[in-house]
Structure 1
Amino acid sequence: MSVTMVPPRGRVWLRAGFGLGVVLLIAQFVVVVPEARDWAGRHPWSYDILQDATYLLAVVLVLARAAVLRQDRGAWLLMAGGLGCYAAGTVYWVAVLVRLDPPPYPSISDAMWLAYYPLAYAAVLRLLRARRSRFSAPTWLDGLIASACAAAFASVVFLTGFAGVSGQPAAAVLVSLAYPIADIVLAGLLLGAWALSGWRTERVWAVLLAGMGVNTAANGLHMFETTHGTFIPGGWTDAFWSVAVAVIVAAAWQRPEEASARPPVRALVGVALPAGLACASMALLLYGSWRDATLPRTSSVLAAVAIAAAVARMLLTVRTVEALADARRQARTDDLTALPNRRSFQETLDRELLRRDPDEPMAVAIVDLDRFKEINDSFGHHLGDRLLQLVATRLTAAFGGAGMLARLGGDEFGVILPVAGADRALEVATTLLTALRHPFDLEQVSLHIDASIGLAVFPGHGTDRGTLLRHADNAMYTAKSDHSGLAVAVEGADDDTGRRRLTTLEEFRAGLDRDELVLHYQPQLDVATGAVVGVEALVRWNHPARGLVYPDGFLSLAEHAGLMGRITLQVLEKALGQCRDWRAAGLGLTVAVNLSASNLHDPSLPDHVADALARYGVPPAALHLEVTEEVLMRDATRATRTLDELRAMGIRLAVDDYGTGYSSLAYLHALPVDDLKLDRAFVAHCDTDPRSAAIVKSTVELAHNLDMRLIAEGVENEAVLDRLRDWDCDLVQGYHLSRPQAPERLTPWLLERQVTPVAS
């Protein structure tokens, strides 16, 4: 029937059928030529055979397609049934009815021709259902617009001038109405089905709709010619009917396409086609109004339905656009803090860099909260989230909006200063740090937090987003490591710094799992008696490749990663185990262990300590626990509760690095601590610096007045020791006495010094 048909290889009879169809189709057009038409008029049987053979061959080939291929079999059986009814009606008309004078109306052929329509409707719907199982509201509206518009124009063709058959039997009137109505419905169904398919151009779908559309157009042409008395049997209208069935057969034998291979429809097409159809419906109504032309009422109603559906589609589109805009905004907004998120931050930075003049500076800052993970783990995520919200509010107020402030994730924030050099960026960063250092009131808990800020400036520290952020991140870690709170990237900074830091952190995590932490101990001397009464446990990392790594090489990374609590617990276990061994050797030493903030905020710490003391057989009085002022100031109320429990067990408590933090007399008065450890910064020069001497002497007196002992760190020579002895300092430690040493080296030294024996 058509050269586009693709019969399966090896089926000779099918190829023969297709070849015959092509011959018949060519012959249909040949007889339209006036000379051939004259010959056909003298031999009418030839034209009848040609037309009947064309229709019957089409039915056979569509049935063969349904039998050979399983896909869409039901739809093509329905289509074959419809074409069969049409062919049967044509054969009966040519063979019997046309010879009667006059031919009956309505006749059996009319019933057969009309039977084609419901079967064709069902075939189209079944094909549509196989390709789209669900339809969205916009798709339904597109289908309604397309159907109503097509039906409106078809009704103009089929109903204009239609006056029925006045005075004829009811059956004749019904049949006369059935033909145009069936064609109008078919026109609407075809275009509506295309819309419901998503305006896709799958070959089988496009060719089938084209074939059925040609058939409907031929029906309209036939009605026009009949109305105006110009219809000629064997003319162009009959040829178009043959073309229609040929194209339908061609559609049946198209190769099936996989869903993944079907080209996606552009969004513009999905908007433009419904809009164009709505405009066409509007034009139809306007034409009838301006030209004073009388449109069939059905046409006007269908055009109005298409326009109303288009209005609904437009409103739905507006709503969809608003939803997309809202989704886009949400995709670039942090849910917790309502600040721009990392994606928005990166997009903004890329835009700024793209339009940036090379001579115009721009600063980028990374703000990272210190020890936030410890707060989150200790107080819970609810309080941690609330803290982040308060931090965002405070940063926003301090920032002032001269650029962008965003939450990059976790406890990390980003700042873009579009027109700022290093000096201006330092001013803004200092303002942010000052704002964060005021306490945050959270559910009856007052928390002090700090932050580390790293700055990078365009173009000195990079001209692309990745380089700028990497240098800002490295500067932030520098600020965290040296506890300065603020650092600017170094010109030409090594891009491998961040990679090395990450590698070190991952190696340290693995080291914790492999028990690579070791302890060195520094003795503490009782100044009054000259006896070594205790030691302080100091952690080291025995790296398998780098050897012994001191705390400044890993503690800041561990602290940022939230590993301090885990480190402290390992140190406690090792220290108590060594204390047990020394006591078994007759050395009655106390051992001091540092606690981190996460330990103090862990309500299970007292139970863990009690369990460890029991397991190692160490009395509570032999364990001293030290905390820094900064840890105490974060949440003094909660720290006090934990320290009260520990002290009630008989454990001695000390404030470490006294004088380097807030040094508030209020918390010294309120907290349950027994000792003050004065930082080496004051002790080391107290023999030569009058100011240091005054601080040390007054601190000794302060401790004694509070019923506390004073432990002086950093005793480097005998002169300093003499001064401390004169001021009645209680305990000292430092290099003058002994450097921190591994237990296997320190134990002989302790035995030689005749350390205080274990109490019997």
Structure 2
Amino acid sequence: MRVVPARGRGWLRAGFALGLVLLIAQFVAILPGARAWMDRHAGMHDVLQDAIYVLAAVLVAARAARVRRDRGAWLLMAAGLGCYAAGTVYWVAVLARMNPPPYPSAADVMWLAYYPFAYAALLRLLRARRGRISAPMWLDGLIASACAAALASVVFLSGFTGFSAGSVPAVLVSVAYPIADIVLAGLLLGAWALSGWHTEPLWILLLAGMGINTVANGIHMFDTAHGSYTPGGWTDALWSVALAVIVAAAWQPRRRPSARPPARALVGVALPAVLACAAMALLLYGSLRNAVVPHTSSLLAAAAITAAIVRMLLTVRAVESLTDARRQARTDDLTELPNRRLFQERLDLVLRRRDPREPVAVAIVDLDRFKEINDSFGHHLGDQLLQLVAARLSEAFGGAGLLARLGGDEFGVLLPDADVDRAREVMTDLLTALRHPFDLEQVTLHIDASIGLAVFPDHGADRSTLLRHADNAMYTAKSEHSGLSLANAGADDDIGRRRLTTLEELRTGLDNGELVLHYQPQLDLGCGTVAGVEALVRWNHPTRGLVYPDGFLALAEHAGLIGRLTMQVLDMAVEQCRAWRDAGLDLTVAVNLSTSNLHDPTLPAYIAATLTRHGVPPAALHLEVTEEILMRDAARATETLAQLRAMGIRLAVDDYGTGYSSLAYLHALPVDDLKLDRAFVGHCDTDPRSAAIVKSTVELAHNLGMRLIAEGVENEAVLDRLRRWDCDLVQGYHLSRPQAPERLTPWLLERQESATTADIAGRA
């Protein structure tokens, strides 16, 4: 153990070497042969003893002078050792030659002066190492100090007769020695407890050195009382060892461990209990054996036991609080399900104990469009929905593994013994349960979810890999609207990275105005003219070129960017409508809205402001929504649609026939047009079933007072059929592909000119 600084001066190293030599000489002097020689040369023992005391004080003072840290404490310790050394030198040089030596004397004053300095040094070190001291630490200190003082008082006070003999100064000095050692013993162990039972070498060596000194004092008192003390014996050697250990403590570098060492934790738990038991044993010894135990010792032991009882009660309370805190730290406050932390811990545990050949399934369940509900109805209703979802999932799950809320609207499922087929079955049941309506405050909501599934060991052997693949599979399910998707280990990594990259690039693209609109004409079959266009968004990616909606719209929807994206599209479309009107083209522009847009209460005001800013009449703007609104809070959507329609904006149901069609909802919705999906229109000239659907839908729309718009017209035969069935408007590749406005505008002007010429010719 290094106790000398690496850059110590030569005289300092010489001092340590001299101390080692003197310490060895002290022990050699105890041996029978050397002891006989020391007895013939009595002065050598005195010189040896004085040299050890003086050298110890010098070395501690040198430490205080050379090292700034804890300088005050070691100056106090050096002062105390200096007083002790001065008393010893004075005794040997002056008082030992008198017969009898005076008692008390100046040497006693100097020896007793050691104690106040030692107390102050201990307290100074304790203060430097502790900030705020908690109640349990105060109790540990009380237990330790009371028990140590009790045991020390038995040694120092048993059989003590100095109170009634001699002069008053003699009695006071005789009482001062044992009391000082009792206080020191209590302070030593109490300070250790208050330090948090630090096990760093500095603290242990200091306590050991001062403790050995106290023990040696007790042995000396006992030997003196029984007339068996012999100068130069083992007691003197113990004093020398104590000084050496204190010097070693002074030169120990201070260490700051980053974490609580296990040894310190063990000491902090075991020592208070051991000391309390020792105090109890002391009391039992006195009562059962009828032994004479000093009254002071009994009181101190009782104090230690009382503190131990209080400490135990505090410990029980702390354990209960810790257990409750641990439970809360692993439980979601809102749903009372396990949280992400517990889910990850349990998954790690299962994977560590799992046979590599046994499957473990992990799934991530993410609610679709939950952000829209929060934005539309507020977080209170969103929280209520999450609670209902958690309850329903728990009921459907049945406790076959672990169901947890990972955060937001995301839930995690752990199935320890499920293979792919079993996991699919469980997840399908969960998905089915979620698709039933939820009754909330004055509103009924239909929600859906996307579930990503990964299975150990096929999709990963550790927690992070499994969760990453399950997360990627969930996004695949969301983008494909499939509800449930199984991970594909290698591909999922690429998909996940690509998805995150695309999302960040899309955010940047929205900032940089990278969205562009292409427009597809809509032909009015009644008059044969182009009545309007549909705006279709594209992303002009700086490196990937033109990206179509299926490459980014679903991602924007899930990331909460669809509102911002729609606002940009509306502004560009209305601005282009104004430009066409200025060019003499009286066209309407149709823009698609997502369901989440209809849940935005600010949408009508924004559209009104946009129309006013560009000077476009509301009738020139058509808005299209999908049938999905029929299953997602139709009441809220109806309210927004009614506001838009009241402004004079024409509304259409897009992709009619592909969703959850409901005539009851269709009858109640304030819409003007039905837009029949291309899946029926494209084959109506060859497929009788498709023809029947198209024809009946045209009749349905007309009977409801609506127009029918057919999309996906790709040949003249389909166009003829639609004209024969009195379809109102058509669009498709047969008429024109979607084009940028700079390419479409000349075509529109040419069509308008041709229509005007034909009209004039017809009149003529």
Instruction: Name the CA distance, whole Å, in 1 between partners of 2:26 and 2:96.
Output: 20
Please, what TM-score do these two structures have when normalized by structure 2? 0.90
Secondary structure of 1:496's aligned partner: helix
Residues 473, 492 of structure 2: 8 Å contact kept: no
- Determine the structure 1 residue equivalent to 2:218: 220
Residues 535, 589 of structure 1: 8 Å contact kept: yes
Q: Which moved more, 1:536-545 or 1:418-427?
A: 418-427
Offset of residue 168 of structure 1:
4.1
Amino acid at match of 1:537: A
Count of matched residue positions in the alignment of Structure 1 and Structure 2:
754
Mapping of residues 359-378 of structure 1, within 5 Å: 360-378=358-376
- Determine the structure 2 residue equivalent to 1:230: 228
Offset of residue 359 of structure 1:
5.5
- Determine the structure 2 residue equivalent to 1:142: 140
- Determine the structure 2 residue equivalent to 1:680: 678
Among candidates 250, 253, 261, match of residue 256 of structure 1? 253
- Determine the structure 2 residue equivalent to 1:696: 694
Mapping of residues 578-597 of structure 1, within 5 Å: 578-597=576-595
Among candidates 725, 729, 732, match of residue 734 of structure 1? 732
- Determine the structure 2 residue equivalent to 1:151: 149
Q: Which moved more, 1:413-422 or 1:51-60?
A: 51-60
Mapping of residues 565-604 of structure 1, within 5 Å: 565-604=563-602
Among candidates 384, 387, 405, match of residue 386 of structure 1? 384
Q: Measured at CA, do residues 504 and 45 of structure 1 come closer, stay the same or move farther in structure 2, by a change above 3 Å?
A: closer
Mapping of residues 163-202 of structure 1, within 5 Å: 163-166=161-164, 168-202=166-200
Residues 520, 538 of structure 1: 8 Å contact kept: yes
Query: Is 1:113 matched with 2:140?
Result: no
- Determine the structure 1 residue equivalent to 2:481: 483
Q: Measured at CA, do residues 23 and 688 of structure 1 come closer, stay the same or move farther in structure 2, by a change above 3 Å?
A: closer
Secondary structure of 2:546's aligned partner: strand
Secondary structure of 1:656's aligned partner: strand
Instruction: Name the CA distance, whole Å, in 2 between partners of 1:380 and 1:488.
Output: 33
Offset of residue 145 of structure 1:
2.6
Secondary structure of 2:450's aligned partner: strand
Instruction: Name the CA distance, whole Å, in 2 between partners of 1:72 and 1:458.
Output: 57
Offset of residue 592 of structure 1:
0.3
Among candidates 385, 388, 399, match of residue 401 of structure 1? 399
Residues 27, 237 of structure 2: 8 Å contact kept: yes
Instruction: Name the CA distance, whole Å, in 2 between partners of 1:568 and 1:110.
Output: 94
Secondary structure of 1:587's aligned partner: coil
Secondary structure of 1:593's aligned partner: strand
Secondary structure of 1:484's aligned partner: coil
Q: Measured at CA, do residues 713 and 134 of structure 1 come closer, stay the same or move farther in structure 2, by a change above 3 Å?
A: same
Among candidates 339, 349, 352, match of residue 351 of structure 1? 349
Residues 200, 255 of structure 2: 8 Å contact kept: no
Q: Which moved more, 1:575-584 or 1:136-145?
A: 136-145
Secondary structure of 1:256's aligned partner: coil
Percent identity between matched residues is 78
Offset of residue 533 of structure 1:
0.5
Offset of residue 593 of structure 1:
0.3
- Determine the structure 1 residue equivalent to 2:330: 332
Offset of residue 625 of structure 1:
0.8
Instruction: Name the CA distance, whole Å, in 2 between partners of 1:414 and 1:262.
Output: 33
- Determine the structure 1 residue equivalent to 2:501: 503
Among candidates 659, 663, 666, match of residue 664 of structure 2? 666
- Determine the structure 2 residue equivalent to 1:521: 519
Secondary structure of 1:314's aligned partner: helix
Instruction: Name the CA distance, whole Å, in 2 between partners of 1:33 and 1:495.
Output: 78
Query: Is 1:71 matched with 2:69?
Result: yes
Q: Which moved more, 1:437-446 or 1:126-135?
A: 437-446
Instruction: Name the CA distance, whole Å, in 2 between partners of 1:618 and 1:124.
Output: 86
Offset of residue 43 of structure 1:
5.8
Q: Which moved more, 1:125-134 or 1:470-479?
A: 470-479
Offset of residue 622 of structure 1:
0.7
Q: Measured at CA, do residues 601 and 9 of structure 1 come closer, stay the same or move farther in structure 2, by a change above 3 Å?
A: same
- Determine the structure 1 residue equivalent to 2:314: 316
Instruction: Name the CA distance, whole Å, in 1 between partners of 2:54 and 2:93.
Output: 14
Q: Unaligned stretches of 5+ in structure 1?
A: none
Among candidates 131, 154, 160, match of residue 129 of structure 2? 131
Mapping of residues 26-105 of structure 1, within 5 Å: 26=24, 28-29=26-27, 31-33=29-31, 44=42, 47-98=45-96, 102-105=100-103
Amino acid at match of 1:520: H
Residues 449, 483 of structure 2: 8 Å contact kept: yes
Q: Unaligned stretches of 5+ in structure 2?
A: 757-764
Residues 630, 662 of structure 2: 8 Å contact kept: no
Structure 1 vs Structure 2 CA RMSD: 3.1
Residues 630, 660 of structure 2: 8 Å contact kept: no
- Determine the structure 2 residue equivalent to 1:417: 415
Please, what TM-score do these two structures have when normalized by structure 1? 0.90
Offset of residue 338 of structure 1:
1.9
Q: Measured at CA, do residues 7 and 21 of structure 1 come closer, stay the same or move farther in structure 2, by a change above 3 Å?
A: farther
Residues 143, 304 of structure 2: 8 Å contact kept: yes
Secondary structure of 2:414's aligned partner: strand
Q: Which moved more, 1:471-480 or 1:385-394?
A: 471-480
Q: Measured at CA, do residues 727 and 470 of structure 1 come closer, stay the same or move farther in structure 2, by a change above 3 Å?
A: same
Instruction: Name the CA distance, whole Å, in 1 between partners of 2:549 and 2:137.
Output: 66
Q: Measured at CA, do residues 282 and 695 of structure 1 come closer, stay the same or move farther in structure 2, by a change above 3 Å?
A: same
User: 1:495-514, CA deviations, whole angstroms, 9 ceiling, x for partnerless residues?
Assistant: 42222232233333332223
Offset of residue 577 of structure 1:
2.0
- Determine the structure 1 residue equivalent to 2:467: 469
Instruction: Name the CA distance, whole Å, in 2 between partners of 1:492 and 1:58.
Output: 71
Instruction: Name the CA distance, whole Å, in 2 between partners of 1:18 and 1:79.
Output: 18
Q: Which moved more, 1:259-268 or 1:64-73?
A: 259-268
Offset of residue 183 of structure 1:
0.8
Instruction: Name the CA distance, whole Å, in 2 between partners of 1:661 and 1:89.
Output: 103
Amino acid at match of 2:653: V
Offset of residue 624 of structure 1:
0.6
Instruction: Name the CA distance, whole Å, in 1 between partners of 2:713 and 2:557.
Output: 28
- Determine the structure 2 residue equivalent to 1:705: 703
- Determine the structure 2 residue equivalent to 1:550: 548
Offset of residue 537 of structure 1:
0.8
Q: Measured at CA, do residues 232 and 495 of structure 1 come closer, stay the same or move farther in structure 2, by a change above 3 Å?
A: closer
User: 1:543-598, CA deviations, whole angstroms, 9 ceiling, x for partnerless residues?
Assistant: 33333222222222222222211221121122112212221221111010011223
Offset of residue 186 of structure 1:
0.8
Amino acid at match of 1:617: G
Among candidates 296, 299, 318, match of residue 297 of structure 2? 299
Offset of residue 656 of structure 1:
1.4
Q: Measured at CA, do residues 249 and 752 of structure 1 come closer, stay the same or move farther in structure 2, by a change above 3 Å?
A: closer
Query: Is 1:275 matched with 2:280?
Result: no
Instruction: Name the CA distance, whole Å, in 2 between partners of 1:346 and 1:23.
Output: 61
Secondary structure of 1:366's aligned partner: strand
Among candidates 207, 210, 214, match of residue 208 of structure 2? 210
Secondary structure of 2:239's aligned partner: helix
Instruction: Name the CA distance, whole Å, in 1 between partners of 2:211 and 2:357.
Output: 66
User: 1:426-455, CA deviations, whole angstroms, 9 ceiling, x for partnerless residues?
Assistant: 332232222222333444343322111233
- Determine the structure 2 residue equivalent to 1:641: 639
Q: Measured at CA, do residues 731 and 184 of structure 1 come closer, stay the same or move farther in structure 2, by a change above 3 Å?
A: same
Q: Measured at CA, do residues 223 and 377 of structure 1 come closer, stay the same or move farther in structure 2, by a change above 3 Å?
A: same
Q: Measured at CA, do residues 750 and 251 of structure 1 come closer, stay the same or move farther in structure 2, by a change above 3 Å?
A: closer
Offset of residue 45 of structure 1:
5.1
Amino acid at match of 2:476: T
Offset of residue 284 of structure 1:
3.6
Q: Which moved more, 1:593-602 or 1:452-461?
A: 452-461
Instruction: Name the CA distance, whole Å, in 2 between partners of 1:464 and 1:483.
Output: 28
